[in-house]
Amino acid sequence: QVQLVESGGGSVQAGDSLRLSCAASGRTVSNYDMGWFRQAPGKEREFVAGISWIVGNSYYVDSVKGRFTISRDRTKNTVYLQMNSLKPEDTAVYYCAASSILTMRQNRWSGIEYWGQGTHVTVSS
C-alpha cells in the first residue's frame, strides 16, 4: 500500500509560478514511478508529467513542455512539479499518481494504482 499526500496548490495570476509536492509513504514506494495528472472542470483527467523513480527520466504532455518540470527526491520519497509561466488553462485539480510510467504516459488513468487526494490550482488572467 502506498499513500500519496499533495501540497502546494493555490490561486495565482497568469505568468506566476507554483510548486506542487507529493510525499509518498509505504513499504513499496520504490516499486512505482510517479507522476501528475490534472482534471479541469467538465474535462477528463489527463496526464501532465511523469518520472521514472529509479532512472529519473521525465515525460510531459505537450501543453506543459518548457514550462513545467517534474523532479523527485528519493531520500524523501517526494516528487515535485515546478510550474512556471502558468496560464488560465492550467486551472485544474492536480493529482499525484503512482504507477508505471508507461501507464501514465498512455493516459490510462483508470489503470493508475495509487492516487493522492488532489490539490487545486487556479490561474487567473
Confidence (pLDDT) at 109:
83
- Counting Cα atoms < 13 Å in the Cβ hemisphere of 5 gives 5
Give burial (CB, 10 Å; 0-12/13-18/19+) of 118.
Answer: middle
Determine contact, residues 22/78, Cβ cutoff 8 Å: yes
Burial of 38 (0-12, 13-18, 19+ CB in 10 A): buried
Residue type, 122: T
**Tens digit of pLDDT for each residue in 74-107?**
999 999 999 999 999 999 999 999 999 999 999 8
CA atoms within 13 A on the CB side of 62: 0
Q: How many CB atoms lie within 10 A of CB 30?
A: 11
- Per-residue confidence (pLDDT) for residue 125, from 0 to 100: 94
Could you read off the pLDDT of 15-72 as tens digits, one per residue? Answer: 999 999 999 998 777 889 999 999 999 999 999 999 999 999 999 999 999 999 999 9
Q: What does the pLDDT read at residue 58?
A: 97
